[in-house]
Amino acid sequence: MQREKNVEYGLPVASRVGFSGNFSKRPLLICFSHLRWNFVWQRPQHVLGRAAQDFDVVFFEEPVCDGSGAPTLRVSETDGIKVAVPILPADTTEEEAVSLQRGLLDAFLQKRPDPSVLWYYTPMAVSFSSHVTADVIVYDNMDELSAFRGASPEMLANEDDLFARADLVFTGGVSLYEAKRHRHPRVHAFPSSIDAAHFAASRERRGQDPADQAPIKGPRLGFFGVIDERFDAELLDGMARLRPDWQFVVLGPVAKIDPETLPRSTNIHYLGQKSYAELPAYLSGWDLGIMPFAINEATRFISPTKTPEFLAAGVPVISTAIRDVIRPYGDKRLVEIAETPPEFIASAERLLTMPRAPWLARVDRHLADGSWDKTWAAMRRLIASRSGEPASASVGAGSAPVSLVPAE
């Protein structure tokens, strides 16, 4: 990990504008995100980390309203990405936040050319950035944010504005593609992909447990990811009660729910958030993976990145009936689908005794068709086609397109 550089932009003094680090002569991509770059490593990091090979990437996060002085834009550089965080006074209202973010964005852009690409993960950013022009505007609709707990009532209206402005719309899964494809002429499905080599290390690390997992006896069933309203805590509790001799390992931060509401028992182990680099070591010690997602509006369109990650790690996995898990993973018998604690336990008992070699062969054949590299290459070609770049540009010219949407 490279050392971070930090600088702050005041508002609106022009003489204080200018990043102390270097911007290259490459085109500029500005991404507006509801997620923090240094939170859980997921789709934005995979996609934009690869975009940074072709663009100077600025990751513009939601504001932090805990400042005591003048509004500033705090910019750090890490992983080849410039991460910009608006720091606003603690008593800032929502209306004031829009105005202040617009001013900070304008100050940041004052001495550099217009962005080549504006990339949106959150429609809420349209309220302060709609005046900024770019060659291509991308809406990477990775989740149905309007269904998440605490979503702004303005989310849907802002999304309408974003659909009207966007040149390209990408979706985080096939279900979301099916729901959004009639709202824009250029909607493309890019389901969760995989860095297979990263997780394949789990298959080679058996017996090398991290220190906090080593004392936990087996069999171990594990989950990793954000623990929020999409996590079915009652389902986990039911499994743990049915098999008190099995150990359930949970990795990840708790968000938007009270941690005290999570089930507590001697065979449930909350080990906290782990870095992306650490995950293979933990998964190497798991006998099975579980994805106990609640079936609710927040999970209706999710395409869990952890599904192919479990498979690449060689860990058989059981999930609730999430549509983008059933298609294709359940249909191909790569993942078990269950709903209740007894069904999860019955599936687990089958998986614990099944021969692994035939299953792993099917897994590897499926995973060979996709990667985050292929995902970015396909996205890059679409961006180039909208911006009028020549075919000889560094956009994977001549390579076959990636088929990401099932035939209708």
Where the chain has pLDDT below 70, the residues are 1-24, 67, 147-151, 206-207, 390-408
* pLDDT tens digits for range 181-222: 999 999 999 998 999 999 999 998 766 799 999 999 989 999
Confidence at residue 404, expressed as pLDDT on a 0 to 100 scale = 44
Domain positions in the chain are 6-193, 196-367
Structure tokens at 285: 């010690």
Of the candidates 234, 260, 265, 272, the residue with the CA atom closest to the CA atom of residue 248 = 265
pLDDT of 305-316, one tens digit each?
999 999 999 999
* Res 109: pLDDT: 92
**Residue 272, helix vs strand vs coil:** strand
- Print burial letters for 168-200: b (CB count within 10 Å at least 16), e (below 16): bbbbbbbbbbbbbbeebeebbbbbbbbbbebbb
Residue-wise pLDDT for 9-27, tens only, equals 444 433 233 344 555 678 9
Q: What is the per-residue burial (b if ≥16 Cβ within 10 Å, else e) of 16-45?
A: ebebeeeeeeebbbbbbbbbebeebbbbbb
> What are the structure tokens assigned to 48, written together?
């934009």
pLDDT tens-digit map of 130-143: 999 999 999 999 88
| CATH dotted code for 196-367 | 3.40.50.2000
Topology match between the domains 6-193 and 196-367: yes
Spatial CB neighbours of 112, under 8 Å, sequence gap ≥ 6: 23, 28
Of the CA atoms within 13 Å of residue 153, those in its CB half-sphere come to: 1
Residue range 6-193 forms a domain whose CATH class is: alpha beta
Nearby residues of 73 by Cβ (< 8 Å), 6 or more positions away? 8, 9, 11, 84, 85, 86, 87, 104, 105, 107, 108
Name, in order, each residue with C-beta under 8 angstroms of 45's C-beta and a sequence gap of 6 or more: 37, 79, 276
Q: What does the pLDDT read at residue 115?
A: 92
The tokens 């623990």 sit on which residue? 227
Termini Cα distance of the chain: 44
